[in-house]
Amino acid sequence: MSAHIKLGRYKSTAKWAALAGSALLALAAGLYFGLEGPQNSAAPLMGLTLPDVDGKDQRLDQWKGKVLVVNFWATWCEPCRKEMPEFVKAQARFSGKGLQFVGIAIDQPDKIRQFARELNLNYPSLVGGYGALELSKGLGNRVMALPFTVIVNRNGEIAYTQMGPLNSVKLDLILTELISNAT
């Protein structure tokens, strides 16, 4: 019986050691990726041409000189779906002040179109497919997670990136600062 008790303790200790090791690995990865960060230039993003849901090619550089918020998302991504109403509000609030949101969806055009109607999306959503995840990786999304947001200032420099949902308070602070710093 004492061998069973010792084995039980060993399993419990091994489980905690594995959890602690996983936590340290996650912390190290977070520090590595956080310190490395994205490139400052948004040139690869601004040089991109993607189709909209109607198949018409859209160049991202058509919004050059504006504060550009590019959000990588998918209709099946619940955090994406939750943050997008805030993006709709911000687009309405700041569009006259030189702001443009653009969604790059990792999805099919018919699904994107349907969700855009449901949400009353007031900014373009382009069809990026899975290749857009690779693009987002080069912009700082090292784990290729969704949602992923890149905010480009009026000078074409990446001012901010966010892996995961962007809350409305943080979004407002960033946009207010970038819009008021017009060059």
pLDDT tens for each residue of the chain, 183 residues long: 544 445 454 444 444 333 333 333 333 333 333 333 445 788 888 999 999 999 999 999 999 999 999 999 999 999 999 999 999 999 999 989 999 999 999 999 999 999 999 999 999 999 998 889 988 998 999 999 999 999 999 999 999 999 999 999 999 999 999 999 864
In this prediction, residue 182 carries a pLDDT of 63
Q: Say what the pTM is.
A: 0.77
Same domain membership, residue 143 and residue 72: yes
Same domain membership, residue 58 and residue 30: no
In this prediction, residue 39 carries a pLDDT of 55
Same domain membership, residue 69 and residue 89: yes
In this structure, what CATH number is given to the domain that contains residue 164? 3.40.30.10
Same domain membership, residue 106 and residue 19: no
Query: Which pairs count as long-range contacts for 131-138, CB under 8 Å and 24+ apart, including other chains?
Result: 132/50, 132/72, 132/104, 132/105, 132/106, 133/72, 133/106, 135/44, 135/45, 135/48, 135/104, 136/72, 136/104, 138/38, 138/39, 138/44
In this prediction, residue 30 carries a pLDDT of 36
Same domain membership, residue 112 and residue 49: yes
Both tokens of 102, joined, read 């653009």
Same domain membership, residue 32 and residue 52: no
Same domain membership, residue 152 and residue 80: yes
Same domain membership, residue 157 and residue 119: yes
Same domain membership, residue 149 and residue 93: yes
Same domain membership, residue 125 and residue 53: yes
Same domain membership, residue 130 and residue 63: yes
Question: Range of 170's domain?
Answer: 43-180
Query: How many folded domains does the chain comprise?
Result: 2
- Closest alpha carbon to 29 in 163, 165, 166, 174: 163
Same domain membership, residue 63 and residue 47: yes
